Amino acid sequence: MDLKTANRIVKALDVHKNQRAAAKALKMAQSTFNGKLKKAREVLAEAGVPHAVAPVATGGRKPIDERIAEHVEVAENLASGEATGAAKEAILENRIRTLENLVRTYKDQALSEQAVREKIFGIAAYKPTIPDWLSLPKSTKVRALHAAPGVPFLFGSDWHWGEVVNPTEIGGVNEYNLVIARSRLRTLIESTIELLTKHMVNPQYPGIIFALGGDMVSGNIHEELSETNDMPIMPVVLDLIDHLIAAINRLKEVFGRVFLPCVAGNHGRLHKKMRAKESNFSSYDWLIYQTLDRYFAEDEDVIFYIPDGSDALISVYGHKYLITHGNQFRGGDGMIGPLGPITRGDHKKRSRNAQIGQEYDTLVIGHFHQLLQMRRIIMNGSLIGYNEYAHANNFGYEPPQQALWITHPERGITFSMPVHLGEEPVQKDNDEPWVAFFEAKKVA
What per-residue confidence (pLDDT) applies to 56?
36
What per-residue confidence (pLDDT) applies to 277?
82
Most confidently modeled of 45-59, 85-99, 405-419, 425-439? Answer: 405-419
Average pLDDT, the chain: 81
The C-alpha atoms of residue 392 and residue 164 are separated, in whole angstroms, by 15
Other CB atoms closer than 10 Å to residue 245's CB: what's the count? 15
* Nearest alpha-carbon partner for 322 in 355, 346, 290: 346
Name the band, by pLDDT with cuts 50, 70 and 90, for residue 256: very high
User: What are 202-235's pLDDT values in tens digits?
Assistant: 899 999 999 999 999 988 877 888 788 889 999 9
Name the band, by pLDDT with cuts 50, 70 and 90, for residue 427: low
Lowest-confidence range among 98-102, 203-207, 291-295?
98-102
Determine what percent of the chain is predicted with pLDDT higher than 70: 75
How crowded is the C-beta side of 382, counted as CA atoms within 13 Å? 26
Contact 213, 364 (CB under 8 A): yes
* Nearest alpha-carbon partner for 159 in 233, 220, 214: 214
Helix (H, G, I), strand (E, B) or coil at 373: strand
Name residues whose C-beta falls within 8 Å of residue 76's C-beta, 6 or more positions apart in sequence. 3, 4
Helix (H, G, I), strand (E, B) or coil at 354: helix
Question: Helix, strand, coil proportions of the chain in percent (round to 5)?
Answer: 45, 15, 45
User: What are 367-425's pLDDT values in tens digits?
Assistant: 989 999 998 999 999 999 999 999 998 888 999 999 999 999 988 999 999 999 986 54
Angle separating helix axes 233-255 and 284-295, nearest 10 degrees: 40
Name the band, by pLDDT with cuts 50, 70 and 90, for residue 322: very high
What per-residue confidence (pLDDT) applies to 110?
52
Mean pLDDT computed over 295-304: 94
Contact 55, 14 (CB under 8 A): yes
The C-alpha atoms of residue 408 and residue 337 are separated, in whole angstroms, by 31
Mean pLDDT computed over 240-263: 96
Name the band, by pLDDT with cuts 50, 70 and 90, for residue 30: confident
DSSP 139: G
Which has more confidence, 127 or 136?
A: 136
Helix (H, G, I), strand (E, B) or coil at 142: helix
Name the band, by pLDDT with cuts 50, 70 and 90, for residue 10: confident
> Residue 353 above 80 pLDDT?
yes
User: H or E element: which one contains 19?
Assistant: helix 19-25
Name the band, by pLDDT with cuts 50, 70 and 90, for residue 71: low
Name the band, by pLDDT with cuts 50, 70 and 90, for residue 366: very high
> Residue 238 above 60 pLDDT?
yes
The C-alpha atoms of residue 71 and residue 97 are separated, in whole angstroms, by 14
> Residue 59 above 50 pLDDT?
no
- With 0-12 / 13-18 / 19 or more C-beta atoms within 10 angstroms meaning exposed / middle / buried, residue 429 is exposed
What per-residue confidence (pLDDT) applies to 132?
77
Q: Is the dihedral of CA 372, 391, 266, 190 positive or negative?
A: negative
Name residues whose C-beta falls within 8 Å of residue 269's C-beta, 6 or more positions apart in sequence. 219, 221, 275, 279, 282, 283, 284
Distance (Å) of CA 225 to CA 145, 161, 231, 415: 49, 11, 10, 37
Lowest-confidence range among 40-49, 165-174, 358-367?
40-49
C-alpha angle with apex 362: 360 to 366, nearest 5 degrees? 120
What per-residue confidence (pLDDT) applies to 430?
66
Determine what percent of the chain is predicted with pLDDT higher than 90: 45
Mean pLDDT computed over 20-30: 82
The C-alpha atoms of residue 383 and residue 193 are separated, in whole angstroms, by 17
Q: Does 3.40.50.10320 match the CATH number of domain 137-420?
A: no
What per-residue confidence (pLDDT) applies to 434?
81
3-state secondary structure string across 246-315: HHHHHHHHHHCCEEEEECCCCCCECCCCCCCCCCHHHEHHHHHHHHHHHHCCCCCCEEEECCCCCEEEEE
* Nearest alpha-carbon partner for 329 in 319, 339, 320, 321: 339
The C-alpha atoms of residue 22 and residue 10 are separated, in whole angstroms, by 9
User: What are 337-349's pLDDT values in tens digits?
Assistant: 788 888 888 999 9
The C-alpha atoms of residue 95 and residue 101 are separated, in whole angstroms, by 10
pTM of the model: 0.68
What per-residue confidence (pLDDT) applies to 124?
47
In the chain, how many H helices and how many E strands?
13, 12
The C-alpha atoms of residue 218 and residue 269 are separated, in whole angstroms, by 10
Q: What's the gap between Cα 41 and its chain centre?
A: 45
Mean pLDDT computed over 135-150: 61
What per-residue confidence (pLDDT) applies to 18?
79
What per-residue confidence (pLDDT) applies to 82?
59
The C-alpha atoms of residue 298 and residue 290 are separated, in whole angstroms, by 14
Write down the domain spans for the chain: 3-47, 137-420
Other CB atoms closer than 10 Å to residue 313's CB: what's the count? 18
Q: What's the gap between Cα 203 and its chain centre?
A: 32
Name the band, by pLDDT with cuts 50, 70 and 90, for residue 52: very low
Name residues whose C-beta falls within 8 Å of residue 247's C-beta, 6 or more positions apart in sequence. 185, 186, 188, 189, 210
What per-residue confidence (pLDDT) applies to 153?
97
Stated length of the chain:
444
